[in-house]
Amino acid sequence: AQSVTQPDIHITVSEGASLELRCNYSYGATPYLFWYVQSPGQGLQLLLKYFSGDTLVQGIKGFEAEFKRSQSSFNLRKPSVHWSDAAEYFCAVAPRAAGNKLTFGGGTRVLVKP
Amino acid sequence: EPEVTQTPSHQVTQMGQEVILRCVPISNHLYFYWYRQILGQKVEFLVSFYNNEISEKSEIFDDQFSVERPDGSNFTLKIRSTKLEDSAMYFCASSAGTDVSPLHFGNGTRLTVT
């Protein structure tokens, strides 16, 4: 069965510092890969997705993620965080035959210090 | 930007009661979904719906659950006889298609069963 692991439950970063959120997945073949963000009281917003091609994908709000097949990872990065980036971030995968049946990781809550 | 809207934002019900959670997907979307997140746990897929029928459902989606698109705009999730363990945040989502079409999530309905 497919699974998604986000090893960090909480991360605290200073405003302006870089951010990297880890995501590892377990799946028989390369799935579709996603990062979602959830701000307090809000729904899940898609940051970026990987389907195929260039393994470095750019998303909204200055985020990027790199797919590494050899490590079964899809880590999310942002060079300089803003206070508004404080939120919970979810990595998700979906099989290519059912691209919208998502399996989510447990989430990483990001706190931004001034 | 078009949004998925969910009502109510919070629903409290007694065990054994029926609840209906309502969603208005994005108007030109064809695929509809329900996910849920029990407090402290991962977001889980419940069901997908297309062309007025369920296209896929998870093990969680047992006979107590049903979905319906009663008119051209609403998409509902009904729980016939709620249990304490049904307490969760329920997210509705919609997409224009499968595979490359991303899911758009609503802000969720927090269901509390007492």
Lookup result for tokens 């078009």: B2
Q: What is the bridge-based pairing of β-strands B10-13 and B109-113?
A: parallel
Contact B42 A104 (CB under 8 A): yes
- Cα–Cα nearest to A74, from A88, A90, A87: A90
CA of A105: which chain B residue's CA is closest?
A: B42
Look at residue B9 and tell me whether its pLDDT is greater than 80: yes
Q: pLDDT class for B113, splitting at 50, 70, 90?
A: very high
Contact B48 A42 (CB under 8 A): no
Across the range A12-18, mean pLDDT stands at: 97
Residues of A in contact with B33 (CB under 8 A): 100
Look at residue B1 and tell me whether its pLDDT is greater than 80: no
Contact B100 A51 (CB under 8 A): yes
Contact (CB, 8 A) for B84 and B74? no
- Cα–Cα nearest to A38, from B77, B2, B50, B105: B105
Predicted local confidence at residue A37, as pLDDT:
96
Least confident stretch, A77-81, A99-103, B98-102: B98-102
Look at residue A99 and tell me whether its pLDDT is greater than 90: no
Contact B42 A106 (CB under 8 A): yes
